[in-house]
Structure 1
């Protein structure tokens, strides 16, 4: 990404590394980890024009994508791991104690923040990114898609041609360096102006310190002249959507109530038992059985990431962003089909060892009548990007390629 405040320190070579920085949205600081291959390490002639934004799962951080982005960064893709509220650098919320600002954990709020970040990436890169969401991150990404689809139904603009200028869209295979964006972000929901100056909105985020970002990212409703307006993909700021092992929402009211009771019980459990005991139980769920096949280093990193969370943030994630607050399954499938019909590719990935989400994929395939690309990844369970990172990366490369327009004529 060209924005120097994000790109600084984020270049990667043979080993994956990156810098975690902060993205401010309406008083909340979300962590963002940026990866990009150095020009010398990107495969020649294979620099991707379309960036990738990835949202992680419950109790994880952006670093969970490290292995998966190795292939993508090597291909020249600019990747950004968006950390959810209360997770990773996102734990550095402006509200201090999570319980004091529980609204930051709302599924809809996080979805709006994710859309806002995608607009920043689109504006800077000159093309809307591919949006990827895994498990809980898939839930947030799907809610973002539902909000975007609502905008489309209300007459929102889908035209991205204004982003594809000759200045912002260099031929593939050539290292792109764009000017940093230090302007304002147009919010497609309210058509207000959100101040996201690069020096403030993309500030370093120390995981141990509370950050005072009062006022940063707040909506500025001051009227602007037509000459100040920047054409943005107001409704749908992503080129494609990839959901990995993500739920589609409750099938009916009874299912919604059952999910609510389960999620509140889990929230009570993590508060009562503490993170360590809860995560020992969580890792033992049948859903994660295939993760026992990971090597010792991978399993240790996964456990360390889980233990880095605090109990209240995890509890609020269950209560405020659990599956029980999602749109209904029928509405979710309708949304995904509408996006596909508008030319925004939608892919759903499930691991063949994950019976629960293979069933979700089968349901989606049938109810979408093939409009959604549903893939079952061999030898993978719930966490495809951890268990089969090369296969996962190859699929994302295909998606990125399908969304990369031809270079502008000289």
Structure 2
């Protein structure tokens, strides 16, 4: 009798190889700890790439999603539902501008596609995006992504996007002033996640905001990875005291249930009109039920605890061998290594019960669930030290 195949053995027989075959198959989780099909446990310092904000097995999320699925699982945007109105109102409150309006969709890429279309609706053609930025894999979002290796196979991409060095305010001003009357938008991430957790230099977001105000340009801030408390404030841009015209978000907003949002304010809020954009599943009641739990949970006390955990994690990391420096804020940290061994560290981590991520050969990215416990933090730090000491 043939032995049943594992999930990872069956994977390449069924799933397109966009990510290759996963090294392990996960079957359950609780808090910041997950369990694989063999029964082994791992402390997860990736959280589904900054998605599982409230961790695994959250009872409030499970109850809200279950109740909504039994009550009204889908209605489309042809009808109003309570969960989408509640989630939208809570996001407007977080932005601090009662005149802001929310477009719900299903992912970060879709949120950035909506922002791209808002820029087009200004009647101007140029959109300025940061080199090395990442905004998604769909064609519009990919056109905004400043990573030529990801774009190369998909040309021609939507036209009109030009790139500037992330953090160089003077270069950006010169680029704008080449044709300010045809510059529709400037887009950036407050912290570039996929490139290796690279924060914008102090004062850069403020300089971009002033430049946009000066020339009537939409300022689009991509908070897909940094939002929902990931950096210790609800939005990462809050640390600079600015107010963007457009905010895109996803990932942690649904703590694992797919949802995205594009928030438009000031000159951007009236650009979408009936028929100019849409989505079948955006504002799905079940997804919004999950988002409402997240938005109710991530309050001031919760954010202060995220900041505390981030500081604790940073302090525990900084004196580990092989660490050159630590970038980022809150529970979004990039460990810059002295040697290009990040991918080796990821493999060793799995063998020691720790899920890590390497956006490149020299950086480990840590984005654990925001609810990670003190015990899980301490265990993860001990294991990480062992791994890096071994590699050193």
The TM-score, its normalising length taken from structure 1, stands at 0.23
Which structure's CA Rg is the greater one?
A: 2
The TM-score, its normalising length taken from structure 2, stands at 0.24
Structure having the larger proportion of residues in strand? 2
Structure having the larger proportion of residues in helix? 1
